[in-house]
Each structure stands twice: as C-alpha cells, then as structure tokens.
Chain A
C-alpha cells in the first residue's frame, strides 16, 4: 500500500512539474516569414530591473505594431525577437550573437543594464550591426568604447549629472551627496562636482553618504545628511533604494529644509503614490506628462489602451528607437548596415521627445534631460513633475576634445 501511494505521489509531482514547464514558454517565437525585417532585442526580463525592461519591450512592440499597421517598411513587415539576458553580461553576448548569426536580425536594440549593454555593443561591433541603446547610459559606451554601429537615445550618465549641476547648482552653497556604492554613482558625483565648480564656484560638498545597493535601512545615512545641514542634496539613488530612502527620510523633515535633487523613474512615482513629498527635484529621461504635442498624447492613449498602464520613460525610449530605425530605413531604402548607419547619422527624426539627431562624433542622440519639482498630478493617480526644465543636450554633452581625450587614454 505504502509503495503504491509513493508511486502515485511521484507521478503527481511529475505531472505538476510538466504542467509548470508548459506554462513557461509564453514568449515562444512564432514562425515568421523570411522576408520580415527583424529587430533583435536582448534585454533583462528577469531580475531587479524586470519592470523597467517590460516597459521597454512594450514600447518597442507598440512601435512595431504601428509601423506594420502603416504597411511596414520597404513593403516588408517588421518582426521583433526578444531574448532574456537576466542582467548577465554573458547571456547578453550569447543571445545577441545568436540573434545575429542564426536568426539573422537586421538591427538591434540595447538591453537594460550597462554591464549587459557593454557586451551587446561589443557584439554589434564585431558583426557590424547597428544597435540603438535606450536605457544603459554609462559614458564609456559613446566615449572610449564607441564604434560606428553604436547609437544611443538615452542621455549618458555624464550628461545627466551635468544637467543636475546646472539646475541644482544655484540653489545653495552647502551640498551633500547620497548614492549607491557602485561605479555609475561614483562617476555621477565626479561629473556633478566638475560642473558645479563652473555653475557655482562658491559651492562645496559638506558630506557624502554611500549606502550599498539594496540597503533596507537608511536611518544612519539620513542623520548623517541632516546633521551636515546642507542646502542641497544630490541623490543618485533610484528604484527600490530611492523609494526606501524617501519613505524613511520624510519623517525627519529632510525634504522641507533642503532642496533634494534625484534621479527619478516613473515606477518610483507610481510606487510612492501620494506618499511622495512635493517639491523634490526629480530628473527623468522621458516623462510623458511633461511632454507636449498630439503625437505624445496619441501615443499615451494607445499605450494605455494596449497595456492598461502609463508609459514609463523606458517605454518611450524603446518606442523612439523603433521610430528612428523606421525613419532611417525609409531614408536609406535599405536595411543593410552601411546604408543604414549613414541614414541614422544624416537624418533628423521626429520622436516623442522632439526632433532628434545623432551627433556624428559619438552617435549620441541630442535628447534633453528633464528636471522638475514633484507635485500632484491632475490627470494621473500619482505625483508628477511641475515646472519642468528641459536641459538641452548641447549644454551638457561632452565636448569633442573630451571625447577624443577619453578615446586616446584608452
């Protein structure tokens, strides 16, 4: 009797497991016609960045749907192939190579994390396939690791830090910093300080706090910041770290006494909801509520209808990458890399953030950085940015001398 029970139990376990596995492959590639124009998207669908990545994929999908509804490109349909790199640089290389060599994709869109972005860019360089980055923004990509097939639609970390210094610089004399202890954050502070010295030579940093990524308890960092009595706090926290910090710092009144400027994603605004204090200076890459024009409002409507959500910055940038490719493919009348690279370099693309051109020097899209003050939103159920300033790219991107210097130093 015992034996039978055990055998039955095992069979049931097996059946349940097979059932679970059958649920897995929901992204399974549908067989597509050979003549499709293929866009390959290796990105981090699993891991801490999963919700950002989901937005990117949604934006890209919406863009492709629209292009196909309008009859495709060069008389061909556009197809999307998505691969999950799980924030692992090695999977980034493996899948991007597979997309190029086996699936024969024509163009690539970059992943979410900078580490994976570096490997995807290296593969694009090796196989000479155009790649547009929409999220990873380490300045190493357009500067020392640049290659002619690389393009980016996201302001680099250097540009963002400088934009912050431009806006926050004049707001006081005593500055403080808080940011996760990792490379981008250290670099961000360095770039901020360099620009601050020009914007406000009288300013000085009185303290710096370096919590580790994923820190749950900010109490000691908050008291450290508060006791230094800064006029301005520059934060390089984002995602769950930023949400944790804001929730814990609010009772200390930190946001009433000091001007706090921080990187900010729409997901953070949604996560905090009405708990988000007013008057924090947030820096965003593509906040839909601060972008004007019929194209934007039509895009937001379509996005909401399809995904029952508001488009995050990542969705907008993903959508724009598709639109830039569509424009360039029409201009070039080809999907071959040499013609396409020329068309991307030469064209001006009418994107959601406005007319956009890639700079010849580093293929950096001339996209602005958006900085505004948190305030109640009248149309959405979370706080938005008011008094938004668009810091133009040419005020914050590296000069030609800086770029060439970085490439020579390598």
Chain B
C-alpha cells in the first residue's frame, strides 16, 4: 500500500483560545465518560467497555499505519498475547487479573521485539505479509499448546469479585485506557513521533538525513505491540476467557478497518472507528442474519465517500466552516 503525502498530524498550532476550547472539550468528555456508568444500563455499559478496549487496540495500531506508514496484518497477535498473559498468570500462578495486566505490555512488547527484529527488515507489502505470517504462527502455537494455553477451547479467567460488576470494571478499563491513550498521545507528539512521520512521508529522505529508520520502525512496532497487549489484557477478564481467535488474522483485520473507517490521519480517528465498529457490530448481530454483508456495505460506503475516514471528514468540514467564518 502506498501512503500518500499527508497533512501534518498536528494542524498548525492553534491560538491560546483554541487550546483552551480543546482542553475544555477534552476535560468535559473525560468527566462525561466517568459519569456514564451512573446513567447507562448494564448492557450498554458492557458495550462501552468493549468500545474502550477496541479504541485502545485501534489507536495502538494506528501508531504503525497512520504515523509510520507501516501496514501490519498481524497486530492481533500482541492483543491476544496480552489476553493470554493475564489468563496464564491467573491459571498457573493465581495472579489476580489487575496485577497480571501490568505484565501484559512487557510480554506483548517482548514478543513484538522478537518479531519486529525480522519484520522491519522489509517494507510495504513484504512487511505486511511477514507480520501476517508471524501472527498466524503465534496463533497456531497458542491453539496447539494444550497444556499451557488450553488449546482451541481457550483458558477461563475469573476477575476478582470487586471487578465483576459492570460499573467497577468499566471504571477500571476507562482509567487504564485513558492513561494508555495519554501515553500514546505523548509518543505521537514527541521527537520520536515526528521521526515516524518523516519516515512515512519519505523513507528514502529520512535515511539520507541520518535517521536510523529501522530502529525507529522497530521502536514503533514494539510500542504498538505493548499497548495492544494492554488492550488484550482488559479483554480476557471481560469475556472471562482468553481464546485463540484473539490472535487470528481475522482479528488483525479489525484495527485496520477501525482505523480506516475513523481516519488514520488523526489521533482520534481510530477511536471514532472503534465506536462505529463496536456499536454497528452489536446492532447487526442482534437484528440480522447477515452481519458481514451489512458491515461490508458500511466499510465500502466509508471508503467510497469518506476516504479520510469519519473523523477526517468531520475535521475537514470543521476547518472549512472556520475558514468561511473568517
């Protein structure tokens, strides 16, 4: 896939007034999210947890696709490894899930380092194929290693009693997700993030100006894997089970779809994509016998009419309005 030249990730630094507006909107959103469990019914709360996890998964992925222009087809492997880290620690060593969660980014990141060490040696389609192959390899190992992973039927996980109620688990996931998103945001804005932008824009030139391109790409791959691991670690207790399909390439397609639907050129894009994905998937599988048909149509419509994704389109419209107002 060729990534076209893009507008800078941060549109020209806004005035102090617009910064203040942004802070107020962001702060309001966060307060609103924390108040949500006191308004929403239990079922929608579980759906919101699902959304938060997918949002982190998609944003971690977009560090590769949107920021560094690396199309990975095996991102679910690290998501699944995060889930299995929690499940295996719980089953073999009786480590409670919220403690196991702390280990997940390190395990997922370590495996991402091992895979990335090979994968970043190639670019473009070859990189995509290699990540896909490694992802399927990890999936096969998890699926077949009965004694350790429970094989294809999965490994049960029981959250502690205080995490069982939807409200508590929601608040837990919300906090972990917000902290992780904030960390990812800082990374995208850092010098490291800017270097990734440079590599995406023109890899050749980035090499010539003296960037250690492979090391930067490897760094992005490891960080993305580690945060996907955190998302996976929150998934296992939600389903009360870690299962091999979490590592499958079908699962790897989900962050790609979410990022594309929401827009890969903004930080919030994948989050919007995750919302669309989770809620439509729920509605469709509730009321329809042909979920894939309906979801395929939605993706097709977005790709045909909103090539910048939903978030991209909204931001474009907003910018246009502002320009007209001036």
Instruction: Identify whether the interface residues of A are mostly helix, strand, loop, or mixed.
Output: helix
In the complex formed, the residue of A with least CB distance to B154 is A115
A35 at the interface (CB under 8 A from B): no
Given that A17-B301, A115-B153, A138-B153 are contacting pairs, would A102 and B290 also be in contact in the complex, using a CB cutoff of 8 Å? Answer: no
In the complex formed, the residue of A with least CB distance to B300 is A17
Whether the pair B286, A98 counts as a contact (CB closer than 8 A) is yes
A32 at the interface (CB under 8 A from B): no
The B9-57 residues at the A interface (CB cut-off 8 A) are 41-44, 46-47, 50
Question: Which residues of the partner chain A approach B285 to less than 8 Å between Cβ atoms?
Answer: 83-86, 91, 95
Q: Which one, B144, B240, B292, contacts A126 given CB within 8 A?
A: B240
A97 at the interface (CB under 8 A from B): yes
Question: Which residues of the partner chain B approach A85 to less than 8 Å between Cβ atoms?
Answer: 285
Given that A24-B294, A93-B239 are contacting pairs, would A101 and B301 also be in contact in the complex, using a CB cutoff of 8 Å? Answer: no
Q: Which one, A17, A23, A94, A114, contacts B282 given CB within 8 A?
A: A94
A14 at the interface (CB under 8 A from B): yes
A401 at the interface (CB under 8 A from B): no
A27 at the interface (CB under 8 A from B): yes
Whether the pair B288, A27 counts as a contact (CB closer than 8 A) is yes
Whether the pair B240, A119 counts as a contact (CB closer than 8 A) is yes
Whether the pair B240, A21 counts as a contact (CB closer than 8 A) is no
Q: Residue-by-residue, is A63-85 near B (CB-CB < 8 Å gives 1, otherwise 0)?
A: 00000000000000000000111
Question: Which residues of the partner chain B approach A182 to less than 8 Å between Cβ atoms?
Answer: 143, 151-152
A274 at the interface (CB under 8 A from B): no
Whether the pair B153, A24 counts as a contact (CB closer than 8 A) is no
Whether the pair A84, B241 counts as a contact (CB closer than 8 A) is no
Whether the pair B42, A102 counts as a contact (CB closer than 8 A) is yes
Q: How large is the interface on B (under 10, 10 to 19, 20 to 34, 35 or more residues)?
A: 35 or more
A183 at the interface (CB under 8 A from B): yes
Size of the chain A interface, CB-CB below 8 angstroms: 46
Whether the pair B300, A83 counts as a contact (CB closer than 8 A) is no
**How distant is A191 from chain B, measured CB to nearest CB, in Å?**
14
> In whole angstroms, what is the CA distance A122 to B166 when docked?
15
Whether the pair A101, B289 counts as a contact (CB closer than 8 A) is no
B133 at the interface (CB under 8 A from A): no
Given that A13-B304, A21-B297 are contacting pairs, would A88 and B245 also be in contact in the complex, using a CB cutoff of 8 Å? Answer: yes
**How distant is A37 from chain B, measured CB to nearest CB, in Å?**
20
Given that A25-B287, A93-B239, A122-B240 are contacting pairs, would A102 and B43 also be in contact in the complex, using a CB cutoff of 8 Å? Answer: yes
Whether the pair B286, A83 counts as a contact (CB closer than 8 A) is yes
**How distant is A202 from chain B, measured CB to nearest CB, in Å?**
29
A253 at the interface (CB under 8 A from B): no
**How distant is B167 from chain A, measured CB to nearest CB, in Å?**
12
A145 at the interface (CB under 8 A from B): yes
Whether the pair A94, B50 counts as a contact (CB closer than 8 A) is yes
> In whole angstroms, what is the CA distance A115 to B143 when docked?
12
**How distant is B249 from chain A, measured CB to nearest CB, in Å?**
14
A158 at the interface (CB under 8 A from B): no
Whether the pair A29, B287 counts as a contact (CB closer than 8 A) is yes
**How distant is B76 from chain A, measured CB to nearest CB, in Å?**
12
The A166-188 residues at the B interface (CB cut-off 8 A) are 181-184, 186
Whether the pair A24, B42 counts as a contact (CB closer than 8 A) is no
A398 at the interface (CB under 8 A from B): no
Question: Which residues of the partner chain B approach A27 to less than 8 Å between Cβ atoms?
Answer: 287-289
Question: Which residues of the partner chain A approach B139 to less than 8 Å between Cβ atoms?
Answer: none
Question: Which residues of the partner chain A approach B235 to less than 8 Å between Cβ atoms?
Answer: 90
Whether the pair A25, B238 counts as a contact (CB closer than 8 A) is no
The A21-77 residues at the B interface (CB cut-off 8 A) are 21, 23-29, 45-46
Question: Which residues of the partner chain B approach A330 to less than 8 Å between Cβ atoms?
Answer: none
B243 at the interface (CB under 8 A from A): yes
A304 at the interface (CB under 8 A from B): no
> In whole angstroms, what is the CA distance A300 to B129 when docked?
51
B307 at the interface (CB under 8 A from A): no
| 18 CB < 8 A contacts A-B | A25-B287, A27-B288, A45-B289, A89-B154, A89-B239, A89-B245, A93-B239, A97-B42, A102-B43, A115-B241, A118-B156, A119-B241, A122-B239, A122-B240, A183-B150, A183-B151, A184-B152, A186-B146
Chain B residues within CB distance 8 Å of chain A: 41-44, 46-47, 50, 143-144, 146, 150-154, 156, 164, 166, 235, 238-241, 243, 245-246, 281-282, 284-294, 297, 300-301, 304
10 A-B pairs closest in CB distance: A183-B151, A102-B43, A101-B42, A122-B240, A24-B288, A101-B43, A98-B43, A25-B287, A25-B288, A93-B239
